[in-house]
Amino acid sequence: MKISSFSVKRPVFTLVTMFLVIILGAVSFFKIPMTLIPDLNPPVAVVVTNYPGASPTEVSEKITKPLEESLSTAPGLKSMQSSSQEGANLIFLQFDWNSTIDDVQMDILQRIDQVAIPEEANKPRFMKFDPSQFPVIQLSLRTVDEGADIRSIADDLEKELRRIEGVASVNVSGKIIEDVQVILNPEKLKEYGLVQSDVVQMIQASNVSMPGDPIDTNDGRQLTTRIISPLQSISDIRDIQLGTNPLTGDKIKVSDVADVALLEPKAQSETRANDKQAVLMSVLQESGANTATVSKEFKKSLDELLEKDAYKGIESDILFDQGDYVQLAIGNIGQSLILGGLFAMLVLFFFLRGIKSPIIIGVAIPYSVIVTFVLMYFADFSLNIMTLGALALGIGMLVDNAIVVIENIERHLAMGKDPEEAAKDGSKEVGGAITASTLTTLAVFVPVIFISGLIGQIFTEFALTISFSLFASLVVALTVVPMLASRMLKAPNKNREARKRRSKKWQTFEKSVKWALGHRAIVLLLTTVLLAASGYGLFKVGTEFLPATDEGFFSINVKLPNGSSLDSTNKVVKRIEDKIKKEKDVEVYVSLVGGTQQSMAQGGSEGNMAEMYVKLLPLDERDRSVFEFVDEVQPGILDTIGEDAEVSFNMQTAAGSSPNTLTFSLNDTDEERLNKAVTMLDEKLRELDSVTEVDNDLIDTVEEVKIEVNREKASDVGLAPYQIAQTVSDVTRGVFATQVVWKTGEVVGVNVSYDETFRDGVDKLKELELKTPFEAYVKLKDVADVKIAEGPVAIKRVDQAHSVTFTLKYLSSESLGDMTKRVNDLVDDLSLPDEVELSYGGDRELFEGAINDMLMAIILAVVLVYIVMAAQFESFKYPFVIMFSVPLMIIGVSLGLLATNTPISVTAVIGILILVGIVVNNGIVLVDYINQRKAAGLSSYDAIVTSVRDRVRPILMTALTTILGLLPLALGLGEGTEMNQPMGIAVIGGLISSTFLTLYIVPVIYSLFDRETRRRAKEVKVK
């Protein structure tokens, strides 16, 4: 090839270009951001509407259903899920991955505006999904000083930590929020003829700051006016005049009917870390910030702050640190990359038996990686487990082209040529073959462009990165390698070819090739049997979406019956804590009692709910994975809690999938029929082996106090139902009156509420006195029926039909595919009504969506590889011969996955896709050389035997460098390597079987397609 000759003639130019690329690569490497996975922007959005005071049924009928009807026609909408609960609704919209939320946002807003909603409801809000809304660090703060209030200390720390570069916000659970509480005494109110609303109105009327029109002064200036009467202290509020006592003429003040104090609301939640009072801190990073850098700076600043005297005795426990995990994962994959490169070099030293040739080839690895960094920087990629995984996967392949070139140059040197001539001729002879083999490998990644969805976003960077590295290795093999070979290599003292022919092992190998050509039927039959057996084996390994990553972190959700008190929930959580703290693998556990982190962040609380976060020791300090830990600990905890509460264990992987979890829904337009089907299926699911948890969201009910107004009785005393409802709501909830600004500049809210002793219990509520327009008082029980009844907690729908979602947790020894099959068999046995539809969600839905795209990609890859080879060989026959090496990889893939008990996942399929491009390389080199030998005058039979004998060494070298280069990745050593492990196993297995069998199958198939050997090969017998 001319480029090789140019490089040999112009060594200085080649070296200078190398150094320039190395400098660019170094600069690019330090500028590439570091993240865990490629940036994902799922096309999902949420529409939220608040309807204060409305029941779930009202919210569903008046807001949710009209919105669903309007939004259902939005372009690109894939599915729509809604939840209607007391006072609010939430509609979750999922669009095709081809859509972007920015494109459909205006359409959604227009459809929202077209819906008429009740005046009492707030306008529906549209919210886009933003990955930066998820915390990158979660930690707990606790104090060893029993007298200190960790919450006030955390408030001070939060202000300091928010200033760190890259940190968007720091959220603290259990913060101290103090408001002015005006606690009314209803007996005093009645004595003075007042009601709650009178007090609220006078507080509002007394706290004034209002602008007026500008006025002209006598000296010709125009000044603005402002009327002010601010409330600036507790005493100001106490002294507000509510009226005058008609009997005594004394002024009636707020202090006469209420106690006024700056109080913290009654505790509705509690946070503990390792049994100590604590707060949970969540750190959100700015969009586009480098996760690893933010994590490092945050922990450094936190450590510096905790060393100060003001924060002595405060201990922090990192629960989850994405930046730390990013560095660990990328460090481990980087280690696999380096080890793979070293293993590949060992292969070269073993085969080439010298120093110079391995060093020349070894240059290809770091140089190709450096060129890849340059291309990654300009492609705006990040360093993540996928892009580094691509480099680790390709590390062995980077030397393939260089091996073929250097081996051929050495062969030409052995023929007596001078180094420069040997470098030119040797690289020219194999230049076409290595270009074709590289193009075929690159061709398999073209179909990745057509893969949509989550997998498309995750693997696009992977495909392009490995393509960049292979392109770089081709350029190196055709330029740098010939140039260095022409300067460093010398002709061998003895004829290597003659020595090799006399070698016993090469003679044995040559005899085996001749035997295969003489017994073609036996060879093909044995191969067919192996293929059939391996195909069967693939169906036995099971399936999963993505490999689970051990991040050493999981959460436990606790749910007591609706209406349970905070104390009851606390007792259950403490029983779980007692079990957890006995486990030696646990580093820290944090308990949030009285709600979930999500509900607390929104300012709400749920007394019957709790969440626990458990962090295990680093992976190298424990003997079991997080999945094994959960499998062993979960049964004991479930037995301990029994029927007292629902306890579920949750794990999340780096890519967002949920390990050991199967999610599916039953949908039906008839609610009653659906409920029957759900009950039947739920009973059967609980009987399945290996299932640890079964949960569904069948409409839950909660006890509530229902106050049904008797319109006739209310009318008799001059009250409208709305007035009664408003009064009861204000009494039970309290009323936010105003905000006041203290002299210190602090802004504090003022709430007006009844003393709890006058509204605690149903009987007290019945005795509540309402003021009528006739200045008289009437008890609530006289105008309304007050009773305890059941009402729905939430009403859920999917695509405008009633829906119930099942969440099935199973042991880590089971696969997603096996559990799906068992659920399908169970549903078939139950013979559910045809109207009840089953649809999978979560990992199963993603797997089903991805696997079809992946199979299409593999088929396209096979076609593209054939097309590239046909163009290269200018023949349809020879590429067809080479394509017989593709199915041979299935044998090794099947054995590899079975031997390691690895299910087929999307990453394993990506490995198979890559194999399509790799396994044909040996065939290309072989067939190309056979054709060259025939063109040189050899008979077809001799050309086949000679080519296989001459090319077996470079074929074995390229295969071994790729296999050993992948070995660290396949072993999956350390955190973060699990994602790429099935890929490594699949490629190693497929490459071993394909390389070994290609040396026999391709010659056999070639002989069948060649006129000269079609008959003669049958007659040849080994002497």
| pLDDT for the residue 1022 | 40
Q: In angstroms, rounded to a whole number, what is the distance separating the alpha carbons of residues 876 and 914?
A: 23
Q: In angstroms, rounded to a whole number, what is the distance separating the alpha carbons of residues 256 and 244?
A: 12
Answer whether residue 748 shows pLDDT above 60. Answer: yes
Q: Does 900 share its domain with 995?
A: yes
HEC sequence for 14-78: HHHHHHHHHHHHHHHHHHCCECCCCCCCCCEEEEEEECCCCCHHHHHHHHHHHHHHHHCCCCCEE
| pLDDT for the residue 496 | 54
Q: In angstroms, rounded to a whole number, what is the distance separating the alpha carbons of residues 66 and 533?
A: 56
CATH number at residue 115: 3.30.70.1430
Q: In angstroms, rounded to a whole number, what is the distance separating the alpha carbons of residues 908 and 926?
A: 28
For 464, what's the count of Cα atoms within 13 Å in the CB-facing half-sphere? 19
Q: Does 1 share its domain with 72?
A: no
User: Are the CB atoms for 325 and 295 separated by under 8 Å?
Assistant: no
Q: Is 599 a member of any domain? A: no
Answer whether residue 758 shows pLDDT above 80. Answer: no
User: Are the CB atoms for 985 and 864 separated by under 8 Å?
Assistant: no
Answer whether residue 458 shows pLDDT above 80. Answer: no
Look at residues 201, 236, 263 and tell me which one is the last residue of a structural domain.
263
| pLDDT for the residue 990 | 92
Q: In angstroms, rounded to a whole number, what is the distance separating the alpha carbons of residues 938 and 971?
A: 46
Q: Does 423 share its domain with 485?
A: yes
Q: Is 654 a member of any domain? A: no
When divided into structural domains, the chain yields a total of 4
Q: Does 21 share its domain with 62?
A: no
Answer whether residue 840 shows pLDDT above 80. Answer: yes
Name 665's Cβ contacts closer than 8 Å, sequence gap at least 6.
798, 803, 804, 805, 806, 838, 839, 840, 841
E strand segments, 651-718: 661-668, 691-696, 701-709
pLDDT digits (tens, 9 = 90+) for 336-359: 777 777 777 787 777 777 788 788
Strand partners, 748: 740
Burial class (CB in 10 A: 0-12, 13-18, 19+), 744: exposed
The DSSP symbol for 493 reads S
| pLDDT for the residue 529 | 92
Strand partners, 770: 778
- Render the burial of 973-1005: b for 16+ CB within 10 Å, e for the rest: bbbbbbbbbbbbbbbbbbbbbbbbbbbbbbbbb
What is the extent of the structural domain holding 120? 44-128
Answer whether residue 664 shows pLDDT above 70. Answer: yes
- Own/partner contacts of 56-59, CB < 8 Å, gap of 24 or more, are 56/84, 56/85, 56/86, 56/791, 56/792, 56/793, 56/794, 56/795, 57/84, 57/791, 57/792, 57/795, 59/84, 59/85, 59/86, 59/87, 59/88, 59/89, 59/795
| Distance from the first to the final alpha carbon of the chain | 41
Q: Is 241 a member of any domain? A: yes
Q: How many other C-beta atoms can be found within 10 angstroms of the C-beta atom of residue 381?
A: 25
The DSSP symbol for 310 reads G
Report helix angle 453-478 to 385-394, nearest 10. 40
Rg (CA), the chain: 37
Residue 190 CA to chain centroid, in angstroms? Answer: 60
Answer whether residue 80 shows pLDDT above 70. Answer: yes
**Which of residues 781 and 154 earns the better pLDDT score?**
781
The amino acid at 344: A
Report helix angle 626-641 to 566-580, nearest 10. 130
What percentage of the chain exceeds 70 in pLDDT?
A: 92
Rounded average pLDDT over 1-8 = 78
| pLDDT for the residue 894 | 92
Q: Is 298 a member of any domain? A: no
The token pair at 20 is 């320039």
Q: Is 555 a member of any domain? A: no
| pLDDT for the residue 1021 | 44
Q: Does 92 share its domain with 220?
A: no
User: Are the CB atoms for 515 and 1022 separated by under 8 Å?
Assistant: yes
CATH number at residue 234: 3.30.2090.10
Nearest-CA neighbor of 798 among 664, 680, 679? Answer: 664
pLDDT digits (tens, 9 = 90+) for 678-727: 888 888 888 888 888 888 777 566 667 788 888 888 888 888 888 888 88
Answer whether residue 147 shows pLDDT above 70. Answer: no
Answer whether residue 878 shows pLDDT above 60. Answer: yes
Q: Does 84 share its domain with 194?
A: no
| pLDDT for the residue 891 | 92
pLDDT digits (tens, 9 = 90+) for 528-584: 999 899 888 888 888 888 787 777 888 888 888 877 778 888 889 899 988 888 888
Q: Does 486 share its domain with 508?
A: no
Look at residues 263, 284, 307 and tell me which one is the last residue of a structural domain.
263
User: Are the CB atoms for 305 and 126 separated by under 8 Å?
Assistant: no
Q: Does 359 share its domain with 399?
A: yes
User: Are the CB atoms for 180 and 749 separated by under 8 Å?
Assistant: yes
**Which of residues 700 and 925 earns the better pLDDT score?**
925
Whole-structure pTM value: 0.74
pLDDT digits (tens, 9 = 90+) for 25-37: 889 888 888 777 7
The token pair at 727 is 């009064």
Answer whether residue 162 shows pLDDT above 60. Answer: yes
Burial class (CB in 10 A: 0-12, 13-18, 19+), 663: middle
- Render the burial of 312-344: b for 16+ CB within 10 Å, e for the rest: eebbbbbbbbbbbbbbbbbebbeebbebbbebb
What percentage of the chain exceeds 90 in pLDDT?
A: 2
pLDDT digits (tens, 9 = 90+) for 929-986: 888 888 888 888 888 888 888 888 878 887 887 888 778 778 876 666 777 788 889 9
User: Are the CB atoms for 873 and 944 separated by under 8 Å?
Assistant: no
Segment holding 236, helix H or strand E: helix 234-238
Residue 635 CA to chain centroid, in angstroms? Answer: 27
Q: Any idea how long the chain is? A: 1023
E strand segments, 811-951: 837-841
Mean pLDDT of the chain: 81
Name 759's Cβ contacts closer than 8 Å, sequence gap at least 6.
731, 732, 765, 768
Answer whether residue 1017 shows pLDDT above 60. Answer: no
Answer whether residue 602 shows pLDDT above 60. Answer: no
Q: Does 425 share its domain with 384?
A: yes
Q: Does 89 share its domain with 200?
A: no
137-143 and 276-285 beta bridge pairing: antiparallel
pLDDT digits (tens, 9 = 90+) for 195-212: 888 888 898 888 888 888
| pLDDT for the residue 658 | 74
HEC sequence for 145-173: CCCCCHHHHHHHHHHHHCCCCCEEEEEEC
pLDDT digits (tens, 9 = 90+) for 355-412: 887 888 777 778 888 888 898 888 888 887 778 778 877 776 777 788 788 878 887 8
Q: Is 6 a member of any domain? A: yes
Answer whether residue 1019 shows pLDDT above 50. Answer: no
CATH number at residue 980: 1.20.1640.10
pLDDT digits (tens, 9 = 90+) for 624-644: 888 888 888 888 888 888 888
Q: In angstroms, rounded to a whole number, what is the distance separating the alpha carbons of residues 485 and 423?
A: 6
Look at residues 263, 292, 320 and tell me which one is the last residue of a structural domain.
263
Least confident of 95-99, 132-136, 165-169, 275-279: 132-136
How far CA 294 is from CA of 99, 290, 301, 423, in Å, comes to: 31, 6, 11, 50
The DSSP symbol for 761 reads S
**Band of residue 775 on the pLDDT scale cut at 50, 70, 90:** confident
Q: In angstroms, rounded to a whole number, what is the distance separating the alpha carbons of residues 940 and 933?
A: 8
Q: Does 371 share its domain with 445?
A: yes
pLDDT digits (tens, 9 = 90+) for 274-323: 877 788 888 888 776 777 888 888 888 888 888 887 777 788 888 778 77
**Band of residue 895 on the pLDDT scale cut at 50, 70, 90:** very high
Residue 799 CA to chain centroid, in angstroms? Answer: 25
User: Are the CB atoms for 283 and 112 separated by under 8 Å?
Assistant: no
The token pair at 599 is 């509900």
Q: In angstroms, rounded to a whole number, what is the distance separating the alpha carbons of residues 281 and 173?
A: 7
**Band of residue 494 on the pLDDT scale cut at 50, 70, 90:** low
| pLDDT for the residue 268 | 66
Q: Is 603 a member of any domain? A: no
Name 414's Cβ contacts closer than 8 Å, sequence gap at least 6.
491, 492, 495, 496, 497
167-172 and 179-184 beta bridge pairing: unpaired
Least confident of 38-42, 109-113, 225-229, 962-966: 38-42
Question: DSSP 3-state assignment of 789?
Answer: strand
Q: Is 832 a member of any domain? A: no
| pLDDT for the residue 737 | 86
pLDDT digits (tens, 9 = 90+) for 511-527: 888 888 888 888 889 98
| pLDDT for the residue 265 | 62
Q: Does 885 share its domain with 985?
A: yes
pLDDT digits (tens, 9 = 90+) for 251-262: 888 888 888 888
Nearest-CA neighbor of 484 among 15, 22, 2, 3? Answer: 15
